[in-house]
Amino acid sequence: MTERSFIIEYVRYLDVNKKEKIMLAAIQLINEVGLAETSMAKIAQKAGVAAGTIYVYFENKEDMIKKLFLAVKEAMQQNMFRGIDCSLSIEVEFKQLLKNYIDFIVNHKDCFLFFEQYINSPLIDKLCGEELQIATKPLRDFFESGKERGIFRPIDLDLLVTYTFTPLMQMAKKHFNGEFGFTEQNIEEMIQMCWASIKA
């Protein structure tokens, strides 16, 4: 066996994680050029696999997008509640939650931008409306609890969640496209603004 073919073989069987490569390539491409411009062929090329290989791991394009989305959602959810054990005051926990969230965003640019871009699209709603409902349960519980204790405004839960997260997400997008830069200070300001808007 020649040197070259050895390397090729080695690489081939080292790639236990073709699926992850594909997922990563897909998310990055979609962020760069948009879903409509992201063909399966381009994903395969970027992932360094053959076009057909994608179909070893995903049923079709929709299935892939759905799985991408749910995987990202899952990762975000997990990180958000890190260190939140309900033993502290709601305000402290609220601020920790937001810090976790920002932390995740900053360290997972691709995931965040992908998530943000499609969370409200008809497509995602069609593909995984149900699964997403279930996933937000812990978050809704947190706000419900704060509302019951009179710490948050006595208003629709959706309002509380929305006023907490959407401005932050919007700023994160600006952060990533260079229109804005996160700093210790303005992160603190943002958290205060969130708190100001929802506290009773």
| Radius of gyration from C-alpha coordinates of the chain | 20
CB of 47 to a copy of itself, least distance (A): 19
56 touches DNA by CB under 7 A:
yes
> Which member of 28, 38, 100, 164 binds DNA (CB under 7 A)?
38
Binding partner at 46 among a copy of itself, DNA, none, C-beta below 5 to 8 Å by kind: none
Task: List CB contacts of 103: < 8 A, sequence separation 6 or more.
Answer: 79
CB of 173 to a copy of itself, least distance (A): 6
Nearer to a copy of itself, 49 or 171 (CB): 171
Judged by CB under 8 A, the stretch of 49-57, 77-85, 113-121, 139-147 that binds a copy of itself is 113-121
Binding site for DNA (CB under 7 A): 9, 12-13, 15, 18, 37-42, 49-57, 60-62
